[in-house]
Amino acid sequence: MSTINDVIVAFLFFIAVKSIEDGFIPFLATFSLISSFLILLLSKGNIRNLFFRKNIREGVSSIFLSSLLGTFSGSILSTFRLDIESHTGLIAIYPAMMDTIGDIGSIIGSITTTKLAIGVGNSFKRRVQLFIKDALEVEISAITVFSILGFLGGFFSKGDIGKSTVTLVKLALFTNILGFLMISLLSFIIAERTFKKGWDPDNFVIPIVTSSADFITTVFLFLGIYLLG
């Protein structure tokens, strides 16, 4: 879902920008107002439903936090932009790296929340053991993807392709390993904490993890450029 979400958001953002450039702001405003009215109308019939209200509270909280994380990630990215642009091949694979880190967190988060919901793992120790096993299985696939991304980045690089490929593979693997550790732990901790509080982990894990993925990838990629580049 993380990948599909990125594609949909990118497409809608493109449509919005083109609409503004082509002078369709009144159309966008009208569409937004009609959509908001329909949402409120549909919500009116369920407002007394406790489960519905609970999901709304949790959803709004999660979206608000995700928006803050996304904004913070954007500000960090603008700070590191010149460092990232210094590696031309990195520009081509950077979005895919962010997306893949988000996928790692989403997969691990989904596995963890599902096992919590069906009662797999009676003790915290057992759940940690299952988490480590699941996370390593996901990482085996992820590290392969990041290695391929590093090689692909080399073909988009200017200058010595061989040297650029080695550098980008090192950067990709460095980002993958540290990003995997951070996003996996974040997924597990959020799932555990929200479940213990009686909240629905699915309302928090995926939104927060996918929003954090951009920040985590950017920070560790910049650290890799500083240490290895």
CATH number at residue 138: 1.10.357.20
5 phi and psi angles, rounded to 5 deg: -60, -45
| Structural domain boundaries, residue 183 | 65-228
**Cα(100)–Cα(183) distance, integer angstroms:** 11
pLDDT over 70 percentage in the chain: 79
Q: Which residues are CB-neighbours of 185 under 8 A, at least 6 positions away?
A: none
Burial class (CB in 10 A: 0-12, 13-18, 19+), 42: exposed
Q: How many domains does the chain have?
A: 1
Structure-block tokens of residue 63? 């979206």
What average pLDDT does the segment 129-154 reach? 90
Structure-block tokens of residue 129? 């053991």
Q: Which residue's structure tokens are 């520009």?
A: 91
What average pLDDT does the segment 153-182 reach? 82
What average pLDDT does the segment 113-130 reach? 83
Task: Tell me which H or E stretch contains 60.
Answer: helix 50-85
What average pLDDT does the segment 93-111 reach? 87
Q: Which residue's structure tokens are 């929003």?
A: 211
**Cα(66)–Cα(70) distance, integer angstroms:** 6
Q: Across all residues in the chain, what is the average pLDDT?
A: 79
Mapping DSSP to helix (H, G, I), strand (E, B) and coil, where does residue 49 land? Answer: coil
* 179: in domain: yes
Q: Is the pLDDT of residue 6 over 80?
A: no
What average pLDDT does the segment 125-153 reach? 90
pLDDT reported for residue 121: 72
Q: How far apart are the first and last CA of the chain?
A: 32
* 167: in domain: yes
Higher-confidence residue of 15 and 115: namely: 115
The conformation of residue 208, written as its DSSP 8-state character, comes to H
* 151: in domain: yes
**Cα(223)–Cα(136) distance, integer angstroms:** 23
* 51: in domain: no
* 80: in domain: yes
pLDDT reported for residue 80: 67
Q: Is the pLDDT of residue 2 over 60?
A: no
Q: Is the pLDDT of residue 39 over 80?
A: no
What average pLDDT does the segment 54-60 reach? 71
* 11: in domain: no
pLDDT reported for residue 85: 66
Q: Which of 17-26, 103-112, 201-210 has the highest mean pLDDT?
A: 103-112
Q: Which residues are CB-neighbours of 199 under 8 A, at least 6 positions away?
A: 58
Question: What is the dihedral sign for C-alpha 143, 145, 148, 150?
Answer: negative
pLDDT reported for residue 119: 79
Burial class (CB in 10 A: 0-12, 13-18, 19+), 224: buried
Q: Which amino acid is at 151?
A: F
* 27: in domain: no
Q: What is the pTM of this model?
A: 0.74
* 125: in domain: yes
